[in-house]
Amino acid sequence: MRVTRSVIPNLFTVANLFCGFASIVASFEGRIDQAIWLVVTAGIFDMLDGVVARITHSTSEFGVELDSLCDAVSFGVAPSVLLYVTFPMAWQHQQWTLVVAALPAIAGVLRLARFNVQLTSMEDKLYFRGMPIPAGALTILAYIHDWHIEVPGAFQPLALTIVTLVVSLAMVSTVKYDNLPRPSARSFRQRPVIFTMFIVGIIACIATSLKAMFPFMALYLAGGAIRHAFLFLRDRNDDDDSVEESDPDPLSM
């Protein structure tokens, strides 16, 4: 078996998968905080594998497919399992609870499949069509980590359901969401405002032990939707042929 440079970024991708699996185990054992932090760690590995692949010039279709499979577990199945165990025990035996908990996994897999079939190059895109699955997972987990308990007990299942529905719909939507800027001078020159906002958000999340993550992710989710609505209204009244045509959406029938 020939060992190539692509093994290095693939090791980070596999570490992402391992963290996702460990998070599922931790959820079933009732170690909720540990399960959340494991998904966050998976997100760090997910970011690093792309950076390492570009540094070593080893991006490949195999790496893209492997990354998607691992993301489906770490940011789709793991959050769904955590959602299921977060619902009150009396609610976990109801079928609708199982359906709601499965939504992040279902929406996430659909989101990844659409991304793969629309992939035309290995270059970083400035935006994604639909909320990226890691961002969707972090939004749900950040809500569970700090904000779920702030809601009165009787309304906690309803609030959790609403957050899950909104995030799942955002993932399968055609709303444009900004890609995470790479830590480089070029990224800062291209999008200084977005770059600065992401850096501030990351620092705030670390400084507050993830408490600031849900407001930051909610702002990211809402910001994409607001921009999409603004551009839609503007383009509706604009007959200019230079307006970008939307990409075909494999999820639409």
**Which of 21-30, 47-56, 120-129: highest mean pLDDT?**
21-30
Comparing 220 with 185, the larger pLDDT belongs to: 220
Counting the structural domains of the chain, the total is 1
Mean pLDDT, residues 8-22 taken together: 93
Q: Helices (H) and strands (E) in the chain — how many of each?
A: 10, 2
**Strand, coil or helix: what is 242?**
coil
Say if 178 falls within a structural domain: no
Listed residue (6, 9, 72) closest to 39, CA to CA: 72
Say if 69 falls within a structural domain: yes
Say if 212 falls within a structural domain: no
Residue 191: phi and psi, rounded to 5, are: -140, 75
Q: What is the mean pLDDT of the chain?
A: 83
User: To which H or E segment does residue 218 belong?
Assistant: helix 213-236
Measured over the CA atoms of residue 38, residue 40, residue 46 and residue 48, the dihedral's sign is negative
The neighbour count for residue 161, using CB atoms within 10 Å, is 17
Say if 190 falls within a structural domain: no
Say if 101 falls within a structural domain: yes
Residue 176: phi and psi, rounded to 5, are: -85, 125
What's residue 195's pLDDT? 80
pLDDT digits (tens, 9 = 90+) for 59-117: 778 888 899 999 999 999 999 999 999 887 666 667 788 899 999 999 999 999 998 88
Say if 87 falls within a structural domain: yes
What's residue 250's pLDDT? 46
Mean pLDDT, residues 4-16 taken together: 84
pLDDT over 50 (residue 245): no
pLDDT band at 253 (very low <50, low <70, confident <90, very high): very low
Structural domain for 66, as ranges: 7-173
Say if 156 falls within a structural domain: yes
The mean-pLDDT minimum among 79-88, 103-112, 125-134, 234-243 falls in: 234-243
Model pTM score: 0.83
What's residue 112's pLDDT? 93
Q: For the domain that residue 135 is a member of, what is the CATH number?
A: 1.20.120.1760
What's residue 91's pLDDT? 63
